[in-house]
């Protein structure tokens, strides 16, 4: 009976053709159950992680293993997120078992920190563990880097320090979180279950989308794309167009786009990302994506006037530059990721919407086998005609929906935080913008990135939302020492008084 159930599961997952890609991305609504006792299943699980080059430590007596830390977008000097898996074997019945896989994520910054975690509850303090008010100004560079005020009551207090990565990617995490990763559980199941059942025609693991000119590409498990985005799999398909309407100037939206692109291409779908950057930047973007990401490559990208605008509205933020670096890294590994720009800043009003829609439509129609994610301000991505101040206005999203199939428009949803925003000068200066860190008020729906669609479009023409959690302002790239993100070593360590220093009006 169990074997029959297993066969039905494989068929329902659709492990061939495009269905394989969707199954690899869609977030499961149930656990994967193995038709074997735990003692028989566990050796194959260990072999899975060994075969896919995911080094681990194991507690053999309890059937628990923990993989080594891996940096998001592997080897990045700018991504402050690290991940590892905690894999736990569970007995379901005497003849069946299951895996529970938890993704542990740590960050260099306080993005994942729980409120109040900076409060020091311990009555004891560590001595000589960092700079003090009386100490030399350079003491903070000394090892170890644990703050002087850290509680130290027992050896267990240092477990977190001992378990952190070493070498070039060594860090002491400011914050962390753990989430169950059902997508990974099913990826393991799809590969291990056929081996346990000795299926002769077992489905092959999903292959990544390999770039046409790449000699080779990594395996599905070799690239760390972060925690799976819930609901993304339903939107990712060849020929699909996902319009993302954002509030410019946050760290989280560019990371969402980079993660979504990574997860889609690892699931076998080639991805093209569209950015609301001036059209004349296309050559620089192309050259950067093909480059080694060295200092000179960054300087060539940043030489464009766009990055040095007197009114930096968030599209030229550090986070956007970092996103290009993440996509460049995926490309350098042989993955089929591309980027195009579509803004026509010299046009105004409806002419600009028409021109942007024409550029996006041309890109989509020229490559119908790809999945397109198009990021723009949330006015442009609407699919219904009219704005409060112009009822005849036809946004880019409206024009694209008239011309293309499979267009889905998502509005940005977020918890409260901050964003780098340009608005009309509060002092009332005519034709002047005030740009800086501003409060952003949203609704808290947790920390997980997700995509949610409704049964019908809302009054603005959106089919749903993409949620990015609490938002944090991302300053203009050139104000962060670019050149190259991270060149001044503060990319993921923004100054506490960042807002007051960076807000300005011109």
What digits encode the pLDDT tens for the residues 164-191?
Answer: 444 433 444 455 678 899 999 999 999 9
Tell whether 328 is covered by a domain: yes
Q: Distance (Å, rounded) from C-alpha 275 to C-alpha 327?
A: 12
Instruction: Note whether 192 and 236 are same-domain residues.
Output: no
Q: Quick one: CA dihedral 260, 261, 266, 272, positive or negative?
A: positive
Q: Distance (Å, rounded) from C-alpha 298 to C-alpha 78?
A: 13
Instruction: Note whether 185 and 264 are same-domain residues.
Output: no
| Sheet strands side by side (includes 433-440) | 417-424, 433-440, 504-505
**Are 475 and 317 within 8 A, CB to CB?**
yes
Share of the chain above pLDDT 70, in %: 72
Tell whether 215 is covered by a domain: no
Do strands 175-180 and 241-246 pair parallel, antiparallel, or not at all (unpaired)? unpaired
Return the half-sphere exposure (C-beta side, CA atoms, 13 A cut-off) of residue 429.
Answer: 8
Tell whether 162 is covered by a domain: no
Instruction: Note whether 185 and 302 are same-domain residues.
Output: no
Give phi and psi for 186, each to the nearest 5: -75, -30
Tell whether 224 is covered by a domain: no
Instruction: Note whether 191 and 300 are same-domain residues.
Output: no
Tell whether 227 is covered by a domain: no
**Are 265 and 336 within 8 A, CB to CB?**
yes
Tell whether 306 is covered by a domain: yes
Digit-coded pLDDT (tens) for 340-389: 999 999 999 999 999 999 999 999 999 999 999 999 999 999 999 998 88
DSSP string, 279-291: GGGHHHHHHHHTS
Q: Is the pLDDT of residue 397 over 80?
A: yes
Predicted model pTM? 0.79
CATH of the domain at 39: 3.30.310
SS3 string of 107-154? ECCCCCCCCCCCCCCCCCCCCCCCCCCCCCCCHHHCCCCCCCCCCCCC
Q: What band does 73 get if pLDDT is binned at 50, 70 and 90?
A: confident
Structure tokens at 481: 């020492």
Q: Distance (Å, rounded) from C-alpha 491 to C-alpha 340?
A: 25
Tell whether 222 is covered by a domain: no
Instruction: Note whether 306 and 380 are same-domain residues.
Output: yes
**Are 386 and 392 within 8 A, CB to CB?**
yes
C-alpha distances in Å from residue 27, one per residue of 227, 232, 235, 263, 469: 11, 8, 12, 12, 18
Q: Distance (Å, rounded) from C-alpha 189 to C-alpha 45?
A: 9
Opening angle at CA 118, ends 83 and 165, nearest 5: 25
C-alpha distances in Å from residue 131, one per residue of 144, 147, 203, 257, 402: 11, 8, 57, 38, 62
Instruction: Note whether 183 and 279 are same-domain residues.
Output: no
Instruction: Note whether 11 and 55 are same-domain residues.
Output: yes
Instruction: Supply the pLDDT for residue 483.
Output: 53
| Sheet strands side by side (includes 407-415) | 337-343, 271-278, 371-377, 241-246, 407-415, 464-470, 450-453
Structural domain of residue 80, as residue ranges?
2-108+178-197
Digit-coded pLDDT (tens) for 10-24: 433 433 344 444 467
Instruction: Note whether 189 and 304 are same-domain residues.
Output: no
CB atoms within 10 A of CB 307: 21
CA 257 to chain centre: 6
Instruction: Note whether 182 and 260 are same-domain residues.
Output: no
Number of domains in the chain: 2
Instruction: Note whether 489 and 415 are same-domain residues.
Output: yes
Digit-coded pLDDT (tens) for 180-232: 999 999 999 999 999 998 865 666 677 899 998 888 888 889 999 999 999 99
Instruction: Supply the pLDDT for residue 119.
Output: 38
DSSP string, 224-280: ---S--BTGGGT--TT-EEEEEE-SSBSHHHHHHHHHHHHHHHTT--EEEEEEEEGG
Tell whether 155 is covered by a domain: no
Instruction: Supply the pLDDT for residue 8.
Output: 39
Instruction: Note whether 358 and 473 are same-domain residues.
Output: yes
**Are 176 and 102 within 8 A, CB to CB?**
no
Give phi and psi for 33, each to the nearest 5: -110, 125
Share of the chain above pLDDT 90, in %: 57
Q: How far does the chain reach from its first CA to its final CA, in angstroms? A: 73
Q: Is the pLDDT of residue 116 over 70?
A: no
Give phi and psi for 349, each to the nearest 5: 55, -130
Structure tokens at 157: 């207090």
User: Which of 197, 224, 249 marks a domain boundary?
Assistant: 197
Instruction: Note whether 258 and 185 are same-domain residues.
Output: no
Across the range 418-435, mean pLDDT stands at: 72
Q: What band does 490 get if pLDDT is binned at 50, 70 and 90?
A: very low
């Amino acid at each position: 009976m169990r074997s029959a159930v297993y066969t039905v599961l494989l068929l329902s997952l659709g492990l061939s053709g495009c269905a394989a890609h969707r199954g690899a991305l869609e977030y499961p609504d149930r656990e994967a159950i193995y038709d074997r006792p735990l003692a028989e299943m566990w050796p194959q699980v260990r072999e899975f992680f060994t075969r896919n080059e995911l080094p681990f430590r194991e507690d053999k007596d309890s059937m628990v293993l923990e993989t080594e830390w891996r940096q998001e977008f592997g080897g990045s000097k700018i991504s402050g997120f690290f991940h590892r898996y905690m894999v736990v074997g569970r007995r379901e019945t005497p003849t069946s078992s299951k895996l529970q896989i938890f993704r542990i994520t740590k960050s260099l910054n306080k993005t994942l920190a729980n409120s109040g975690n900076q409060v020091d509850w311990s009555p004891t303090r560590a001595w000589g563990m960092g700079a003090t008010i009386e100490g030399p100004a350079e003491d903070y560079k000394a090892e170890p880097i644990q703050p002087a005020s850290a509680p130290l009551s027992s050896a267990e207090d240092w477990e977190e320090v001992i378990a952190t990565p070493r070498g070039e990617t060594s860090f002491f995490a400011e914050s962390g979180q753990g989430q169950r990763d059902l997508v990974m559980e099913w990826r393991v199941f799809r590969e291990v279950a056929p081996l346990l059942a000795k299926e002769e025609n077992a489905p092959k693991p999903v292959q990544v989308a390999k770039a046409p000119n790449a000699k080779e590409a990594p395996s599905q498990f070799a690239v760390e794309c972060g925690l799976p985005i819930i609901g993304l799999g339903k939107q990712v398909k060849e020929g699909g167009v996902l319009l993302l309407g954002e509030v410019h100037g946050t760290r989280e939206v560019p990371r969402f786009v980079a993660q979504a692109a990574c997860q889609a291409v690892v699931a076998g779908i080639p991805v093209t990302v569209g950015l609301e950057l001036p059209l004349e930047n296309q050559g620089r973007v192309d050259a950067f994506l093909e480059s080694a990401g060295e200092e000179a490559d960054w300087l060539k990208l940043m030489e464009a006037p766009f990055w040095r605008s007197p009114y930096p509205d968030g599209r030229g933020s550090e986070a956007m530059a970092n996103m290009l670096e993440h996509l460049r890294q995926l490309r350098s590994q042989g993955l089929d990721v591309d980027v195009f720009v579509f803004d026509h800043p010299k046009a105004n009003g409806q002419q600009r919407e028409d021109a942007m829609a024409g550029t996006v439509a041309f890109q989509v129609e020229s490559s119908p086998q790809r999945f397109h994610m198009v990021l723009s301000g949330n006015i442009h991505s609407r699919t219904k005609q009219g704005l409060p101040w112009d009822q005849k206005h036809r946004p880019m999203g409206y024009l694209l929906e008239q011309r293309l199939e499979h267009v889905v428009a998502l509005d940005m949803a977020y918890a409260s935080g901050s964003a780098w925003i340009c608005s009309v000068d509060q002092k009332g200066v005519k034709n002047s913008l005030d740009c800086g860190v501003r409060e952003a008020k949203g609704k808290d729906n947790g920390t997980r990135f997700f995509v949610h669609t409704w049964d019908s479009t809302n009054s603005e023409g959106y089919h749903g939302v993409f949620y990015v959690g609490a938002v944090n302002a991302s300053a203009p790239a050139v104000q962060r020492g670019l050149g190259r993100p991270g060149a001044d070593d503060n990319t993921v360590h923004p100054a506490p008084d960042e807002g007051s220093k960076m807000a300005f009006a011109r």
